[in-house]
Amino acid sequence: MITISKTNPLALAAAALALGASAFGASAGETASMHVLKPMQGVSLDMGTKKVAAYYLANDKTCDLTVTIADLPDADGNVSGGSTRITMPVAVGSKARVYTAEGRALEASCSLAANIVTLRPLAFTATVVQ
């Protein structure tokens, strides 16, 4: 089951601080570094104009991934919109992706024992075929 909820942007900031920040940026067409997480360990990432915070809980057959996405603050520190939290099970030995509207994605891979999740930010570029 996938759960999606809207939250306050301040809640995202608090979650990012609680999880510990590990920010990076990726330009179009690049794949940024991977992040290896243990259960209940979190990461905070900058993905284009979005701030993403993610963590997971381990079960016998799934890694229950939670991803919160919000707009980055402007130069004055104001956030223009709310945030969205997505919770989804990722089956052991498989991958899942969460996409942003601007062509970026966060790919999550759940290990066979559900003891490690590898997160890999992705950026896509459009190719025009003539």
pLDDT given for residue 111 in this prediction: 97
Segment 79-102 shows an average pLDDT of 91
User: Is residue 116 predicted with pLDDT exceeding 50?
Assistant: yes
Which of 8-17, 76-85, 115-124 is most confident? Answer: 115-124
Q: Which domain holds residue 115?
A: 3-123
Q: What is the pTM of this model?
A: 0.70
Confidence class of residue 88 from pLDDT cuts 50, 70 and 90? very high
At 23-55, the pLDDT tens digits run 333 333 344 589 999 999 999 999 888 899 999
Taking the C-alpha atoms of residue 11 and residue 25, their distance in angstroms, rounded to an integer, is 22
Does residue 101 lie in a domain region? yes
DSSP string, 66-121: EEEEEEPP-TTS---S-EEEEEEEEETT-EEEEE-TTSEEEEEEE-TTSS-EEEEE
Does residue 66 lie in a domain region? yes
Does residue 129 lie in a domain region? no
Q: What's the half-sphere exposure (Cβ side, CA atoms, 13 Å) at 118?
A: 13
User: Is residue 22 predicted with pLDDT exceeding 80?
Assistant: no
CATH number at residue 40: 2.60.98
Does residue 108 lie in a domain region? yes
Does residue 130 lie in a domain region? no
Number of separate domains in the chain? 1
Nearest to 115 by CA among 65, 57, 67: 57
Does residue 64 lie in a domain region? yes
Does residue 97 lie in a domain region? yes
pLDDT given for residue 101 in this prediction: 82
DSSP string, 38-74: -TT-EEEEEETTEEEEEEEEE-SSEEEEEEEEEEPP-
User: Is residue 14 predicted with pLDDT exceeding 90?
Assistant: no
Exposure letters 41-73 (e unless 16+ CB within 10 A, then b): ebbbbbbbebbbbbbbebeeebbbbbbbbbbee
